[in-house]
Amino acid sequence: MVTSAPFDNWWHNSFGLDVQIVSPPHMVLGIGILGVGVGALLLLASQMNRAEGTERKNLLRMYLYLGGVLLALHLLFVSEYSSGDQMHGATFYLAVSLGVPLILVALARGCGYRWGATVVAAIYTAIHLAQLWGLPLFPATPKLGPVYTNVTHMIPLEFPVLIVIPALAIDFLLNRYAQKNKWLLAVMLGAAYLVVMLIVHWPLGNFLIAPAARNWIFGQNYFSYGVPPSEYHFQFEFIDREATFALLLRGIAIAFVIAILSSRVGLAAGDALRRLRR
């Protein structure tokens, strides 16, 4: 994390100011944050697996909260590919299939709690809604140029991805078919996750680009100072859409494979967390 700071400064001096989340210096920062988060999770899981009674319940609460924070950080790093105006393109489903099933499955299987994935997803949702509804309450003005849009308050991230709904499907399958062949279970988990994501987010995308979402609840009326008014319309129409239905299907098929592999790694990681004692 410390290494990323001078790297980021050099990057800006060499290539100019950027406000993108996905850049080499930010990826170095993300790896550092991930290392700290995973390390804390391992320490917590080992202690939880040795504990009993009230102590275990308290540690389980901490475990699930930390899981929600890790999920929030992961979705922050893919937020440039998971906005409402991208929900009718394969890029959105590729982005949310890469890592999210792994985190949900691993954390749920690792703790053994019946609704582990759902609680983790709910904590992510609460964190994301808190920043969406809270940041605009604080006054702010741009300190860097160019300024294309006058801003008088902090600008939040967009409305959260509704991960909590596919998380319910993941918990149901983990509870009902925990003893099945792991590859078969991974196929079931990946398929359920992606199908529910499509069912939920395809119509959600239609709503988020509509006038009804341009309010403080859904936050579709916020624009960064770096966005000129001539580009406002991009938030109210779908972008990153495939040119043909065949290309969309190919992208969804790739996302399906990624979701299965992510779920399989999650099962292995979850089993490792349950065995951890020191």
Cβ partners under 8 Å of residue 53, min gap 6: none
pLDDT more than 70, % of the chain: 99
| Residue 81 burial (CB count, 10 A) | 18
Note the pLDDT tens digit of each residue in 190-246.
Answer: 999 999 999 999 999 999 999 999 999 999 999 988 889 988 888 899 998 998 999
Residue 170 lies in a domain: yes
Residue 10 lies in a domain: no
Identify which of 189, 187, 194 has the alpha carbon closest to the alpha carbon of residue 249.
Answer: 194
* pLDDT at res. 84: 92
DSSP state string for 112-125: --TTHHHHHHHHHH
Confirm if 240 and 86 have CB atoms less than 8 A apart: yes
Confidence of residue 62 (pLDDT cuts 50, 70, 90): very high
The tokens for 165 are 């709904």
What are residue 42's phi and psi, to 5 degrees? -65, -45
Note the pLDDT tens digit of each residue in 260-271.
Answer: 999 999 999 999
DSSP state string for 178-221: TTS-HHHHHHHHHHHHHHHHHHHHHHHHHHHTSGGG-STTT-TT
Residue 23 lies in a domain: no
Q: Which has more pLDDT, 173 or 26?
A: 173
Residue 48 lies in a domain: no
Confidence of residue 23 (pLDDT cuts 50, 70, 90): confident
User: What's the domain range around 122?
Assistant: 81-275
Least confident of 27-36, 56-65, 88-97, 120-129: 27-36
Residue 69 lies in a domain: no
Residue 16 lies in a domain: no
Residue 2 lies in a domain: no
Mean pLDDT score, 58-67 = 94
Task: List strand residue ranges (DSSP E) for 29-77, in order.
Answer: none
Residue 63 lies in a domain: no
**How far does CA 237 lie from the centroid of its chain?**
22
How many domains is the chain partitioned into structurally? 1
Q: Which has more pLDDT, 6 or 261?
A: 261
Least confident of 29-38, 55-64, 147-156: 29-38
- Average confidence score pLDDT of the chain: 92
Confidence of residue 43 (pLDDT cuts 50, 70, 90): very high
